[in-house]
Amino acid sequence: MRVGLIGYGAWGSHHARVIGEHLVAIAARSEATVAKARAEHPAARVFTDYRELLTHDLDAVVVVLPSHLHHDASKRVLESGRHLLLEKPMALTVEQCDELLALANAKQRVLAIGHEMRLSSLWGKVKELLQDGAIGEPRYMLIELWRRPYRLGADGWRYDIGRVGNWILEEPIHFFDLARWYFDASPVSVFARANGKRLDRPELHDHFSAVVDFPDGRYAVISQCLGGWEHHQTVKISGREGSLWASWSGANDRTFEPTFSLRLMRGETITDVPIARAAGEVYELETQFARFIDAIQGGAPPAATGADGRWAVAMCLKAEESARVKERAFF
């Protein structure tokens, strides 16, 4: 496979690492990232304009750009007939997601979305246990994150609502995706609250919580605090016959040395569930890229499809609406 990478910032360089020998072309925006890309991947052609990259001989492209650039770059990739792995969020509006889905279908190209937590040895093991009926029908879940403030991003884009969309589309989007995946159902409604630490920037929601209703009275609580330290994520799920508690901690979200655990309770018995390999997004990228290649070559769907990406965006936008008007929003 001949793969191009659009975007070589902090996260894009991690994608380049896992693409490895398949990487033949990189598009980077700044002088610093261009120089870094050339130094770290001398065998790849490096472009300053991703439109020039698309003239290169490529089978697939990975897009890792600031959120407001996802739609245009991805549209051009799909129009050029390449398979696409697109970082989350899929786009900033549902309409943009729909346009990308229609293009991928028309061109018969694989469209995979970067919800890499589905491929985690830890969060994926939770899904396995649920599918195996380890706790019976899941009825309630809490997905909670305590972390340090977000990185600025190149040119401060992550702190510009015009470019980031909203902060729910940043990290909570993963948790909305997990909730829908774990319940194996689409949501009914959401009620959300949010606030921030800065009086002069009320649109920057350092604190965010949502109650997401699913069919048959099931619900998920999703909560994030950006006023903490390090990076600590918890998933707790209660079912009719037991419960699960998964946790992950690291000095930061991209650490190669995390601590993590998964505990299962049935009846009065609590057991530690072994995790086969290290968990964390720097590891999950490897599995995500391998699944993307498998989807292209073998025809199996990617871990998170374009339809999954659209749902995740729609859930976040409804949550933002609810937090803004302080009323329940329906899907």
Residue reference for tokens 């001949």: 2
| For residue 10, pLDDT beyond 90 | no
Sketch out the chain's domains with CATH numbers. Answer: 3-116+286-304 (3.40.50.720), 119-280+312-330 (3.30.360.10)
- What is the predicted pLDDT for the residue at 301? 92
Q: Mean pLDDT across the stretch 17-46?
A: 94
Q: List pLDDT tens digits, range 201-216.
A: 999 999 999 999 999 9
CB atoms within 10 A of CB 305: 18
How far is CA 204 from each of CA 72, 138, 194, rounded to the nearest angstrom?
Answer: 25, 33, 9
Calculate Rg over the CA atoms of the chain.
20
> At 238, is the pLDDT very low, low, confident or very high (cuts 50, 70, 90)?
very high
Q: Which amino acid is at 74?
A: S
> At 239, is the pLDDT very low, low, confident or very high (cuts 50, 70, 90)?
very high
Which of 5, 70, 10, 127 minimizes the C-alpha distance to 310? Answer: 70
- What is the predicted pLDDT for the residue at 156? 93
Of residues 230 and 9, the one with the higher pLDDT is 230
- The overall average pLDDT reported for the chain is 96
Residues 6+ apart with CB under 8 A from 266: 134, 135, 241, 242
Q: What are phi and psi of 278, to 5 degrees?
A: -60, 145
CB atoms within 10 A of CB 234: 15
Q: Mean pLDDT across the stretch 42-51?
A: 95
Q: Which amino acid is at 89?
A: P
Which of 235, 253, 218 minimizes the C-alpha distance to 125? Answer: 235
Helix (H) or strand (E) holding 213: strand 207-213
Helix 70-79 vs helix 94-107: crossing angle, to nearest 10: 10
Q: Rounded to an integer, what is the distance from CA 241 to the centroid of its chain?
A: 30
- What is the predicted pLDDT for the residue at 154? 86
| For residue 80, pLDDT beyond 90 | yes
Q: Which amino acid is at 135?
A: I
Q: List pLDDT tens digits, range 280-302.
A: 999 999 999 999 999 999 988 99
Could you give the CA distance from residue 126 to residue 147 in angstroms, rounded to a whole number?
A: 22
Edge-first strand listing for the sheet containing 219-225:
269-272, 259-266, 242-250, 231-239, 138-147, 219-225, 207-213, 189-195, 329-330
How many residues does the structure list for the chain? 331
Of residues 314 and 254, the one with the higher pLDDT is 314
**Number of alpha carbons in the 13 Å side-chain half-sphere of residue 27:** 22
User: What secondary structure does DSSP assign to 103-146, as a single string?
Assistant: HHHHHT--EEEE-GGGG-TTHHHHHHHHHTTTTSSEEEEEEEEE
| For residue 260, pLDDT beyond 90 | yes
Helix 10-19 vs helix 31-40: crossing angle, to nearest 10: 20
Q: List pLDDT tens digits, range 136-195.
A: 999 999 999 999 999 999 889 999 999 999 999 999 999 999 999 999 999 999 999 999
Could you give the CA distance from residue 185 to residue 82 in angstroms, rounded to a whole number?
A: 31
